[in-house]
């Protein structure tokens, strides 16, 4: 069990393989914010249903709901956010970025921020400074790890930048090698189940698809319940953007994605990639159409098939 927020009114969230939203961040003065922890495979070559012993990752999510009217209660596809870095936590990033982006893409767009695997409130953490306590136990002592990390950062302040002294480059190289050995030691403790082996971009991209799949399952369940209560189907009101169902809508900051066949809307800022470049623009001068967002894309080079359009 993990405490999503440390305050007195914190919500303790048990991870689940399905989306189970819980009220959270009430200290911000909003009652509509939701949090969840979605369980996904650590190694997608060892799926969860293959063995209960296969390692898992519990992804921390924050939902910033859009303002929906009529029978439609949820976006067909949520807009996922990643602050990049790499290493930035997206669950808290969505708290302030979500409302700002909704002013651009539409107030009715649901936004989900997630902490990529190994980062923030997502567990297990990729923390080379934390180790199990000497007294025993399997969980890392995160407080001790934080102290060691702070001391390490302080010790490096006098080194400065690469050109700050004649031996700065040598010292920075030594520190980088030290961190590498520290992480190598931590990795060897867990072997094939070490999170450090699975924090790469392909796994994060798979996690985003897992979030979308879980969203589709959750909204389908919610729609079925609402249809039974109202005696009608809610699919009619969403017929204009059914092509987004099961697709990824993503706004990434200094980060890249894979699985382009699953993407319906994509915005990248400061990305570095050797893939064909797609330049996505938001036409804020035009009213947002009822059958989809006012996002447009242009491609370069000409061979680029931008978002399948």
pLDDT tens, residue by residue, 20-49:
999 998 888 888 899 999 999 999 999 988
Q: What is the mean pLDDT of residues 82-102?
A: 88
pLDDT bucket at 85, cuts 50 / 70 / 90:
confident
Which residue bears the tokens 């001790």?
144
Lowest average pLDDT, out of 114-123, 142-151, 202-211, goes to: 142-151
- Whether 248 contacts 212, CB under 8 Å: yes
Over 50: is that where the pLDDT of 11 sits?
A: no
Range with the poorest average pLDDT among 101-105, 127-131, 245-249: 245-249
Strands 79-82 and 248-253: parallel
Residue of 85 and 79 predicted with greater confidence: 79
Per-residue confidence (pLDDT) for residue 184, from 0 to 100: 94
114 has which bridge partners?
61
Half-sphere exposure of 47 (CA within 13 A, CB side): 4
pLDDT at position 28: 83
For the cut 50, the answer to whether the pLDDT of residue 300 exceeds it is no
Range in 49-58, 193-202, 259-268 the model is least confident about: 259-268
Distance CA 104, CA 292 (A): 13
Looking at residue 1, what is its pLDDT?
A: 43
Compute the distance between CA of residue 205 and CA of residue 80 in angstroms, rounded to an integer: 11
With beta carbons less than 8 A apart as the criterion, state whether 257 and 273 touch.
Answer: no
Mean pLDDT of the chain: 77
State the pLDDT at residue 180.
Answer: 94
Which residues are CB-neighbours of 26 under 8 A, at least 6 positions away?
Answer: 9, 33
User: Is residue 183 helix, strand or coil?
Assistant: helix
- The residues, any chain, with a CB within 8 Å of residue 162's CB and separated by 6 or more, are 168, 169, 172
| Confidence grade of residue 247 (pLDDT, cut at 50, 70, 90) | confident
Q: Alpha carbon of 297 to those of 21, 32, 53, 194: distances in Å?
A: 33, 32, 44, 39
DSSP state, residue 99: H
SS3 label, residue 52: coil
End-to-end CA gap in the chain: 44
Distance from C-alpha of 280 to C-alpha of 301, rounded to nearest angstrom:
14
User: Can you read off the two tokens belonging to residue 59?
Assistant: 């992804």
């Amino acid at each position: 069990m993990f405490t999503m927020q440390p305050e007195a009114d914190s919500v303790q969230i048990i991870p689940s393989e399905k989306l189970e939203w819980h009220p959270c961040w009430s200290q911000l003065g909003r009652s509509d914010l939701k949090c969840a922890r979605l369980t996904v495979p650590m190694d997608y070559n060892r799926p969860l249903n293959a063995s209960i012993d296969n390692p898992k990752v519990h992804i921390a999510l924050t939902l910033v709901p859009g303002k929906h009217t009529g029978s439609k209660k949820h976006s067909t596809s949520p807009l996922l956010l990643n602050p990049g870095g790499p290493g930035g936590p997206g669950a808290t990033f969505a708290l302030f970025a979500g409302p700002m982006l909704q002013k651009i893409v539409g107030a009715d767009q649901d936004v989900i921020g997630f902490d990529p695997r190994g980062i923030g409130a997502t567990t297990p953490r990729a923390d080379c400074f934390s180790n199990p306590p000497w007294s025993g136990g399997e969980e890392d002592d995160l407080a001790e790890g934080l102290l060691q990390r702070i001391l390490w950062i302080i010790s490096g302040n006098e080194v400065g930048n690469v050109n700050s002294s004649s031996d700065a480059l040598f010292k920075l190289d030594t520190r980088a090698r030290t961190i590498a050995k520290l992480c190598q030691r931590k990795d060897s403790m867990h072997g094939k189940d070490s999170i450090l082996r699975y924090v790469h971009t392909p796994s994060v991209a798979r996690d985003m698809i897992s979030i979308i799949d879980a969203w589709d399952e959750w909204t389908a369940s919610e729609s079925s319940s609402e249809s039974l209560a109202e005696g009608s189907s809610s699919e009619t009101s969403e017929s204009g953007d059914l092509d987004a169902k099961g697709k990824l809508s993503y706004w990434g900051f200094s980060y890249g994605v894979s699985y382009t066949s699953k993407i319906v809307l994509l915005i990248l800022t400061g990305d570095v990639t050797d893939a064909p470049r797609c330049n996505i623009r938001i036409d804020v001068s035009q009213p947002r159409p009822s059958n989809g967002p006012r996002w447009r894309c242009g491609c370069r080079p000409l061979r680029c098939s931008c978002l399948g359009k």
